[in-house]
Amino acid sequence: MHSVEDIPSLESLERRVDQLAAKASARVDDWIELRSEIQKVDEFLQVAPEAEKKMEELTTALFGELLTELETNLTHAIREILGQDREVKAIASIRDKKLQVDFQILNQGGEEDIMVGQGGSVCNILSVGLRLIALSRLNPDIHRPFLVLDEQDCWLRPNLVPRFMDLISTISKRLGFQVLVISHHPLDLFANSADSILALEPNRECGVKIERVK
């Protein structure tokens, strides 16, 4: 049995009750705050699908002007070089919450495989065109306007190379770019478009012999 001395005093019991009441009040405040946050999340989740749809529409609209410019410039490049009535189409879509752009080549209304159309010539032209466009949109204070084209004429017929290089020369000068072209085609094909031409030949003594042609 407990003695009278073991029984807590009324004052200590009152203090204990006050402490428990304070803790209970704090827990209630925490619950109310947490419940408010959950409610905000629920409200956000309800509007998220519509917001995501609007963002997709806005993204597509913002890129619409750029895609139109891409189509126009790339179509001009292909027609200028190949001398054929082909058209570039850039189709935007949202996949995995990211904007994706698919390119198509239309030849007399029918779709043509970019990779194999004209023996790969179309692929060469599109590849260079996209690189020039991408470089033109970078901050020149951070990115030097310099582009290296390594055998980007590899699938072009020799008679098309001068047109290709003339167009690259015109665009690069207009945009203020320096372009280094590496090619295995005969050097005379670059005579009218290149500002400087260097020929590299294997050499037993030094490995590679460099000769300035122009």
List the domain boundaries for the chain. 4-46, 119-214
CA angle 156, 162, 163 (to 5 degrees): 85
pLDDT in tens, 20-78: 777 877 888 888 888 888 888 777 767 667 766 776 667 666 667 778 888 888 888 88
**99 phi/psi in degrees, rounded to 5:** -75, 125
The upper half-sphere exposure of residue 125, i.e. CA atoms within 13 Å in the direction of its Cβ, equals 35
pLDDT in tens, 85-109: 888 888 877 777 677 778 888 888 7
pLDDT in tens, 171-198: 889 888 899 999 999 999 998 999 999 9
Which CATH homologous superfamily contains domain 119-214? P-loop containing nucleotide triphosphate hydrolases (3.40.50.300)
